[in-house]
Amino acid sequence: MSFRPRLVPSMALALLAVLCLATHVLVAHVFVTVALSKEDDGRSTHAIDAGDCASARVSAMIGQTIMVGFAGRREQDPGVRAVVAQLRDGTVGGVVLFPNNIGDRAQLKALIDVLRSAPSGLPPFIGVDQEGGAVQRLRARRGFEWFPSAKLVGENPSLDSQEIAEEIYSQMAAELAGLGFNMNLGPVVDLNTNPNNPVIGARGRSFGRTSDIVSPMAAAFINAHHAANIATVAKHFPGHGSSAVDSHRTLADISQTWQEEELDPYRRLMLQGLLDGVMMGHLYHPRFSDLEDLPTSLSAKAAAVLRRSDGLGFDGVIVSDDMDMGAIVEAFSPEEAAVRAIRAGTDILIFSNIERGDPDFGARLHQALVKAVCDGRLGEARIEEAYRRIVRLKEQLKTSTLPRAW
Protein backbone atom coordinates (compact mmCIF):
# COMPACT_ATOMS: atom_id res chain seq x y z
CA MET A 1 0.00 0.00 0.00
CA SER A 2 1.33 3.45 -0.84
CA PHE A 3 1.44 5.80 2.10
CA ARG A 4 -0.01 9.22 1.23
CA PRO A 5 0.80 11.92 3.80
CA ARG A 6 -1.71 14.79 3.94
CA LEU A 7 -2.20 17.38 6.65
CA VAL A 8 -5.24 17.06 7.46
CA PRO A 9 -20.15 15.60 32.71
CA SER A 10 -21.12 15.64 36.23
CA MET A 11 -19.13 17.63 38.79
CA ALA A 12 -18.92 14.71 41.20
CA LEU A 13 -17.63 12.33 38.60
CA ALA A 14 -15.08 14.88 37.44
CA LEU A 15 -13.85 15.36 41.01
CA LEU A 16 -13.55 11.60 41.44
CA ALA A 17 -11.49 11.34 38.26
CA VAL A 18 -9.15 14.13 39.43
CA LEU A 19 -8.63 12.48 42.83
CA CYS A 20 -7.90 9.11 41.20
CA LEU A 21 -5.42 10.72 38.82
CA ALA A 22 -3.60 12.51 41.65
CA THR A 23 -3.30 9.31 43.64
CA HIS A 24 -1.99 7.37 40.64
CA VAL A 25 0.63 10.02 39.87
CA LEU A 26 1.92 9.99 43.47
CA VAL A 27 2.11 6.20 43.59
CA ALA A 28 3.80 6.05 40.19
CA HIS A 29 6.47 8.53 41.30
CA VAL A 30 7.35 6.43 44.33
CA PHE A 31 7.45 3.14 42.44
CA VAL A 32 9.43 4.50 39.49
CA THR A 33 12.05 5.90 41.85
CA VAL A 34 12.39 2.52 43.55
CA ALA A 35 12.49 0.57 40.28
CA LEU A 36 15.13 2.77 38.70
CA SER A 37 17.25 2.77 41.84
CA LYS A 38 17.30 -1.03 41.67
CA GLU A 39 18.56 -0.83 38.10
CA ASP A 40 21.13 1.82 38.88
CA ASP A 41 22.65 -0.05 41.84
CA GLY A 42 23.60 -3.01 39.68
CA ARG A 43 20.98 -5.49 40.82
CA SER A 44 19.46 -5.56 37.35
CA THR A 45 21.63 -6.02 34.27
CA HIS A 46 20.88 -5.40 30.62
CA ALA A 47 22.60 -7.38 27.90
CA ILE A 48 21.84 -4.81 25.19
CA ASP A 49 24.60 -2.22 24.91
CA ALA A 50 22.91 1.15 24.78
CA GLY A 51 26.01 2.73 23.28
CA ASP A 52 27.36 6.18 24.10
CA CYS A 53 24.22 8.04 23.05
CA ALA A 54 21.64 6.38 25.32
CA SER A 55 22.10 5.55 28.99
CA ALA A 56 21.55 2.12 30.51
CA ARG A 57 18.59 3.70 32.30
CA VAL A 58 16.94 4.66 28.99
CA SER A 59 17.72 1.22 27.57
CA ALA A 60 16.03 -0.38 30.58
CA MET A 61 12.94 1.79 30.21
CA ILE A 62 12.69 0.96 26.51
CA GLY A 63 12.67 -2.75 27.31
CA GLN A 64 9.56 -2.35 29.43
CA THR A 65 7.61 -1.00 26.43
CA ILE A 66 7.97 -4.24 24.43
CA MET A 67 5.73 -7.33 24.56
CA VAL A 68 6.44 -10.08 22.03
CA GLY A 69 5.17 -13.42 20.90
CA PHE A 70 7.58 -16.32 20.49
CA ALA A 71 7.80 -19.86 19.15
CA GLY A 72 7.91 -22.90 21.40
CA ARG A 73 6.16 -24.56 24.31
CA ARG A 74 8.94 -25.92 26.49
CA GLU A 75 11.89 -24.45 28.33
CA GLN A 76 14.41 -26.12 26.03
CA ASP A 77 12.82 -24.82 22.80
CA PRO A 78 15.03 -22.19 21.05
CA GLY A 79 12.28 -19.56 20.97
CA VAL A 80 11.54 -20.02 24.66
CA ARG A 81 15.21 -19.87 25.61
CA ALA A 82 15.62 -16.65 23.62
CA VAL A 83 12.62 -14.84 25.11
CA VAL A 84 13.54 -15.95 28.64
CA ALA A 85 16.98 -14.40 28.12
CA GLN A 86 15.36 -11.19 26.84
CA LEU A 87 13.05 -11.03 29.87
CA ARG A 88 15.99 -11.68 32.17
CA ASP A 89 18.20 -8.92 30.80
CA GLY A 90 15.38 -6.40 30.36
CA THR A 91 15.34 -6.36 26.57
CA VAL A 92 11.58 -6.95 26.67
CA GLY A 93 9.05 -6.35 29.42
CA GLY A 94 6.47 -9.01 28.65
CA VAL A 95 5.15 -11.68 26.34
CA VAL A 96 1.86 -12.60 24.69
CA LEU A 97 1.00 -16.27 24.33
CA PHE A 98 -0.71 -17.64 21.23
CA PRO A 99 -1.98 -21.11 20.23
CA ASN A 100 1.51 -22.09 19.06
CA ASN A 101 2.61 -21.85 22.72
CA ILE A 102 -0.31 -23.74 24.22
CA GLY A 103 -0.57 -27.51 24.56
CA ASP A 104 -2.26 -28.88 27.66
CA ARG A 105 -2.69 -27.42 31.13
CA ALA A 106 0.45 -28.92 32.67
CA GLN A 107 2.64 -27.81 29.76
CA LEU A 108 1.26 -24.27 29.80
CA LYS A 109 1.67 -23.87 33.56
CA ALA A 110 5.29 -25.05 33.35
CA LEU A 111 6.02 -22.65 30.49
CA ILE A 112 4.54 -19.65 32.29
CA ASP A 113 6.43 -20.54 35.47
CA VAL A 114 9.67 -20.32 33.48
CA LEU A 115 8.66 -16.99 31.93
CA ARG A 116 7.60 -15.44 35.23
CA SER A 117 10.77 -16.46 37.01
CA ALA A 118 13.09 -14.94 34.39
CA PRO A 119 13.32 -11.24 35.41
CA SER A 120 15.09 -10.17 38.58
CA GLY A 121 13.33 -6.80 38.84
CA LEU A 122 9.88 -5.83 37.63
CA PRO A 123 7.55 -8.77 36.95
CA PRO A 124 6.87 -9.42 33.26
CA PHE A 125 3.45 -9.02 31.72
CA ILE A 126 2.23 -12.49 30.71
CA GLY A 127 -0.64 -11.72 28.34
CA VAL A 128 -3.23 -13.61 26.32
CA ASP A 129 -6.36 -12.95 24.26
CA GLN A 130 -9.07 -14.79 26.20
CA GLU A 131 -12.37 -13.11 25.36
CA GLY A 132 -14.64 -16.15 25.08
CA GLY A 133 -16.42 -17.44 22.00
CA ALA A 134 -14.38 -17.23 18.79
CA VAL A 135 -11.37 -15.63 20.51
CA GLN A 136 -10.08 -17.80 23.33
CA ARG A 137 -6.52 -19.06 23.07
CA LEU A 138 -7.16 -21.64 25.78
CA ARG A 139 -9.40 -24.06 23.91
CA ALA A 140 -11.74 -26.66 25.39
CA ARG A 141 -10.32 -29.36 23.12
CA ARG A 142 -7.02 -28.97 24.97
CA GLY A 143 -8.62 -29.41 28.37
CA PHE A 144 -9.34 -25.79 29.27
CA GLU A 145 -12.69 -24.27 30.23
CA TRP A 146 -15.01 -23.06 27.47
CA PHE A 147 -16.50 -19.57 27.78
CA PRO A 148 -19.35 -17.95 25.81
CA SER A 149 -18.86 -15.09 23.39
CA ALA A 150 -19.44 -11.49 24.43
CA LYS A 151 -22.53 -11.50 22.20
CA LEU A 152 -24.08 -14.39 24.14
CA VAL A 153 -23.25 -12.76 27.48
CA GLY A 154 -24.59 -9.36 26.42
CA GLU A 155 -27.84 -10.82 25.11
CA ASN A 156 -28.57 -12.73 28.32
CA PRO A 157 -32.24 -11.94 29.04
CA SER A 158 -31.90 -12.31 32.81
CA LEU A 159 -32.48 -9.22 34.94
CA ASP A 160 -29.29 -10.10 36.79
CA SER A 161 -27.21 -10.32 33.64
CA GLN A 162 -24.36 -8.20 35.00
CA GLU A 163 -24.04 -10.47 38.01
CA ILE A 164 -24.16 -13.53 35.76
CA ALA A 165 -21.50 -11.95 33.54
CA GLU A 166 -19.22 -11.37 36.50
CA GLU A 167 -19.67 -14.99 37.59
CA ILE A 168 -18.70 -16.19 34.10
CA TYR A 169 -15.67 -13.94 33.96
CA SER A 170 -14.65 -14.83 37.51
CA GLN A 171 -14.29 -18.42 36.32
CA MET A 172 -12.30 -17.23 33.31
CA ALA A 173 -10.01 -15.09 35.45
CA ALA A 174 -9.51 -17.86 38.01
CA GLU A 175 -8.32 -20.22 35.29
CA LEU A 176 -5.94 -17.60 33.87
CA ALA A 177 -4.56 -16.72 37.30
CA GLY A 178 -4.07 -20.38 38.19
CA LEU A 179 -1.92 -20.80 35.09
CA GLY A 180 0.14 -17.69 35.85
CA PHE A 181 -1.24 -15.09 33.44
CA ASN A 182 -1.42 -11.52 34.75
CA MET A 183 -2.88 -9.72 31.71
CA ASN A 184 -5.93 -10.47 29.57
CA LEU A 185 -6.16 -8.48 26.34
CA GLY A 186 -9.86 -7.76 26.75
CA PRO A 187 -12.66 -6.87 27.09
CA VAL A 188 -13.84 -5.82 23.65
CA VAL A 189 -15.82 -2.61 24.18
CA ASP A 190 -16.59 -2.02 20.50
CA LEU A 191 -20.27 -1.33 19.80
CA ASN A 192 -21.89 -3.80 17.42
CA THR A 193 -23.08 -1.13 14.99
CA ASN A 194 -22.28 -3.29 11.96
CA PRO A 195 -23.36 -6.89 12.62
CA ASN A 196 -21.66 -7.93 9.36
CA ASN A 197 -18.30 -6.56 10.48
CA PRO A 198 -15.97 -9.49 9.69
CA VAL A 199 -13.77 -9.13 12.77
CA ILE A 200 -16.22 -7.95 15.48
CA GLY A 201 -19.94 -8.37 14.76
CA ALA A 202 -19.78 -11.51 12.64
CA ARG A 203 -17.58 -13.20 15.25
CA GLY A 204 -19.77 -12.34 18.23
CA ARG A 205 -17.05 -10.29 19.92
CA SER A 206 -19.22 -7.32 20.97
CA PHE A 207 -21.54 -7.31 23.99
CA GLY A 208 -24.13 -5.29 22.09
CA ARG A 209 -25.09 -2.34 19.93
CA THR A 210 -25.22 0.37 22.60
CA SER A 211 -22.99 1.63 25.37
CA ASP A 212 -25.76 0.90 27.88
CA ILE A 213 -25.29 -2.79 27.10
CA VAL A 214 -21.53 -2.86 26.53
CA SER A 215 -20.34 -0.76 29.49
CA PRO A 216 -21.81 -2.80 32.39
CA MET A 217 -20.75 -6.09 30.76
CA ALA A 218 -17.22 -4.76 30.28
CA ALA A 219 -17.18 -3.59 33.90
CA ALA A 220 -18.16 -7.10 35.01
CA PHE A 221 -15.33 -8.55 32.91
CA ILE A 222 -12.78 -6.15 34.41
CA ASN A 223 -14.01 -6.49 38.00
CA ALA A 224 -13.76 -10.27 37.80
CA HIS A 225 -10.21 -10.12 36.47
CA HIS A 226 -9.12 -7.54 39.02
CA ALA A 227 -10.39 -9.78 41.80
CA ALA A 228 -8.01 -12.45 40.45
CA ASN A 229 -5.18 -9.89 40.15
CA ILE A 230 -5.18 -9.82 36.35
CA ALA A 231 -4.84 -6.57 34.41
CA THR A 232 -7.15 -5.93 31.45
CA VAL A 233 -6.94 -3.96 28.22
CA ALA A 234 -10.16 -2.53 26.75
CA LYS A 235 -10.20 -2.57 22.95
CA HIS A 236 -10.20 -1.40 20.10
CA PHE A 237 -9.97 2.41 20.46
CA PRO A 238 -11.59 4.53 19.08
CA GLY A 239 -14.06 1.85 17.97
CA HIS A 240 -13.83 -1.07 15.53
CA GLY A 241 -17.50 -2.06 15.58
CA SER A 242 -18.60 -0.13 12.50
CA SER A 243 -15.80 -1.19 10.17
CA ALA A 244 -16.44 -3.20 7.01
CA VAL A 245 -12.98 -4.78 6.82
CA ASP A 246 -10.67 -6.72 9.12
CA SER A 247 -7.62 -4.75 10.30
CA HIS A 248 -5.74 -8.06 10.56
CA ARG A 249 -5.70 -7.84 6.75
CA THR A 250 -5.71 -4.14 5.87
CA LEU A 251 -6.32 -0.67 7.28
CA ALA A 252 -9.95 -0.29 8.38
CA ASP A 253 -11.44 3.05 7.31
CA ILE A 254 -14.18 4.06 9.78
CA SER A 255 -14.41 7.69 8.70
CA GLN A 256 -17.97 7.33 7.33
CA THR A 257 -19.35 4.89 9.91
CA TRP A 258 -17.87 5.75 13.31
CA GLN A 259 -20.21 7.30 15.92
CA GLU A 260 -19.48 9.45 18.98
CA GLU A 261 -21.19 6.91 21.25
CA GLU A 262 -18.30 4.52 20.60
CA LEU A 263 -16.18 6.52 23.06
CA ASP A 264 -18.74 6.16 25.83
CA PRO A 265 -17.68 2.74 27.19
CA TYR A 266 -14.15 4.06 27.70
CA ARG A 267 -15.50 7.14 29.46
CA ARG A 268 -17.74 5.13 31.78
CA LEU A 269 -15.07 2.59 32.67
CA MET A 270 -12.53 5.32 33.31
CA LEU A 271 -14.88 7.21 35.63
CA GLN A 272 -15.36 3.99 37.58
CA GLY A 273 -11.58 3.77 37.94
CA LEU A 274 -11.48 0.42 36.13
CA LEU A 275 -9.35 1.04 33.04
CA ASP A 276 -5.85 -0.45 33.30
CA GLY A 277 -5.07 -0.25 29.61
CA VAL A 278 -6.65 0.79 26.32
CA MET A 279 -5.71 -0.93 23.07
CA MET A 280 -5.28 1.27 20.02
CA GLY A 281 -6.90 -0.17 16.91
CA HIS A 282 -5.37 -0.06 13.44
CA LEU A 283 -8.13 2.18 12.10
CA TYR A 284 -8.43 5.33 10.02
CA HIS A 285 -10.56 8.35 10.86
CA PRO A 286 -9.51 11.98 10.25
CA ARG A 287 -10.51 12.94 13.79
CA PHE A 288 -8.04 10.42 15.22
CA SER A 289 -5.43 10.04 12.46
CA ASP A 290 -2.60 12.52 11.93
CA LEU A 291 -2.36 11.90 8.19
CA GLU A 292 -4.45 10.32 5.45
CA ASP A 293 -4.20 6.51 5.61
CA LEU A 294 -2.20 6.66 8.85
CA PRO A 295 -3.59 4.22 11.44
CA THR A 296 -4.86 5.61 14.73
CA SER A 297 -2.31 3.34 16.43
CA LEU A 298 0.46 5.50 14.96
CA SER A 299 -1.27 8.85 15.43
CA ALA A 300 -0.80 11.38 18.20
CA LYS A 301 -4.35 12.66 17.65
CA ALA A 302 -5.84 9.39 18.90
CA ALA A 303 -3.68 9.32 22.02
CA ALA A 304 -4.53 12.98 22.67
CA VAL A 305 -8.26 12.23 22.74
CA LEU A 306 -7.57 9.59 25.39
CA ARG A 307 -5.19 11.73 27.44
CA ARG A 308 -6.58 15.27 27.35
CA SER A 309 -8.63 16.48 30.29
CA ASP A 310 -11.19 17.80 27.79
CA GLY A 311 -11.22 14.37 26.17
CA LEU A 312 -11.25 11.21 28.29
CA GLY A 313 -8.47 12.12 30.72
CA PHE A 314 -7.05 8.58 30.74
CA ASP A 315 -3.66 8.10 32.41
CA GLY A 316 -3.29 4.33 32.22
CA VAL A 317 -1.24 2.42 29.67
CA ILE A 318 -1.98 2.68 25.97
CA VAL A 319 -1.30 -0.67 24.31
CA SER A 320 -0.95 -1.27 20.59
CA ASP A 321 -2.97 -3.88 18.79
CA ASP A 322 -0.69 -6.49 17.23
CA MET A 323 1.83 -4.55 15.17
CA ASP A 324 2.26 -7.57 12.90
CA MET A 325 -1.25 -7.16 11.51
CA GLY A 326 -1.86 -6.35 7.85
CA ALA A 327 -2.94 -2.76 8.52
CA ILE A 328 0.61 -2.03 9.71
CA VAL A 329 2.90 -4.37 7.78
CA GLU A 330 1.49 -3.32 4.39
CA ALA A 331 2.97 0.15 4.89
CA PHE A 332 5.70 0.04 7.55
CA SER A 333 8.66 -2.01 8.69
CA PRO A 334 8.38 -3.32 12.28
CA GLU A 335 11.08 -0.93 13.45
CA GLU A 336 9.51 2.15 11.84
CA ALA A 337 6.06 1.22 13.11
CA ALA A 338 7.40 0.78 16.63
CA VAL A 339 9.07 4.19 16.66
CA ARG A 340 5.98 5.90 15.25
CA ALA A 341 3.67 4.21 17.76
CA ILE A 342 5.75 5.11 20.82
CA ARG A 343 6.28 8.65 19.55
CA ALA A 344 2.52 9.04 19.03
CA GLY A 345 1.75 8.04 22.61
CA THR A 346 1.60 4.25 22.80
CA ASP A 347 3.18 2.90 25.98
CA ILE A 348 3.31 -0.84 25.23
CA LEU A 349 4.02 -2.39 21.83
CA ILE A 350 2.68 -5.85 20.99
CA PHE A 351 4.28 -7.86 18.19
CA SER A 352 2.92 -11.38 17.78
CA ASN A 353 6.02 -12.47 15.85
CA ILE A 354 4.13 -15.56 14.67
CA GLU A 355 4.82 -15.54 10.92
CA ARG A 356 8.29 -14.11 11.44
CA GLY A 357 9.16 -16.61 14.17
CA ASP A 358 12.40 -14.77 14.89
CA PRO A 359 13.74 -15.65 18.36
CA ASP A 360 15.88 -12.50 18.34
CA PHE A 361 13.09 -10.16 17.26
CA GLY A 362 12.64 -8.61 20.72
CA ALA A 363 16.33 -7.73 20.83
CA ARG A 364 16.25 -6.23 17.33
CA LEU A 365 13.22 -4.14 18.18
CA HIS A 366 14.87 -2.92 21.37
CA GLN A 367 17.96 -1.88 19.41
CA ALA A 368 15.80 -0.02 16.89
CA LEU A 369 14.12 1.99 19.63
CA VAL A 370 17.45 2.78 21.30
CA LYS A 371 18.77 3.96 17.93
CA ALA A 372 15.70 6.17 17.48
CA VAL A 373 16.51 7.86 20.79
CA CYS A 374 20.12 8.30 19.68
CA ASP A 375 19.00 9.78 16.35
CA GLY A 376 16.60 12.19 18.01
CA ARG A 377 13.52 10.61 16.43
CA LEU A 378 12.24 9.48 19.82
CA GLY A 379 12.52 11.61 22.94
CA GLU A 380 13.69 10.30 26.30
CA ALA A 381 10.80 12.12 27.98
CA ARG A 382 8.30 10.08 25.94
CA ILE A 383 10.06 6.84 26.97
CA GLU A 384 10.06 7.82 30.63
CA GLU A 385 6.37 8.77 30.48
CA ALA A 386 5.52 5.32 29.11
CA TYR A 387 7.77 3.64 31.64
CA ARG A 388 6.11 5.37 34.59
CA ARG A 389 2.69 4.13 33.53
CA ILE A 390 3.97 0.59 32.99
CA VAL A 391 5.69 0.52 36.38
CA ARG A 392 2.54 1.76 38.09
CA LEU A 393 0.48 -1.07 36.61
CA LYS A 394 3.12 -3.69 37.36
CA GLU A 395 3.33 -2.53 40.95
CA GLN A 396 -0.46 -2.81 41.25
CA LEU A 397 -0.12 -6.41 40.09
CA LYS A 398 2.79 -7.01 42.44
CA THR A 399 0.83 -5.69 45.43
CA SER A 400 -2.60 -7.01 44.34
CA THR A 401 -4.12 -3.52 44.37
CA LEU A 402 -6.01 -3.40 41.05
CA PRO A 403 -9.19 -1.35 41.61
CA ARG A 404 -12.73 -2.73 41.75
CA ALA A 405 -15.98 -0.85 41.19
CA TRP A 406 -18.05 -2.94 43.61
Residues catalogued as catalytic: 248, 321
Q: For residue 386, give Cα distances in angstroms to 65, 106, 118.
A: 7, 35, 22
What does the CA dihedral 384, 388, 390, 393 come to, rounded to 10 degrees? 180
Q: CB-based burial of residue 390 (10 Å sphere; 0-12 exposed, 13-18 middle, 19+ buried)? A: buried
Q: How far is Cα 238 from Cα 261, in angstroms, rounded to an integer? A: 10
Bridge partner residues of 277 (DSSP): 233, 317
Task: Cis check for the bond before 366: say yes or no (omega within 30 of 0).
Answer: no
Q: Which of helix, strand or coil describes residue 96?
A: strand
Q: How far is Cα 127 from Cα 218, in angstroms, rounded to an integer? A: 18
| HEC letters along 141-161 | HHCCCCCCCHHHHHCCCCCCH
Q: How far is Cα 290 from Cα 281, in angstroms, rounded to an integer? A: 14
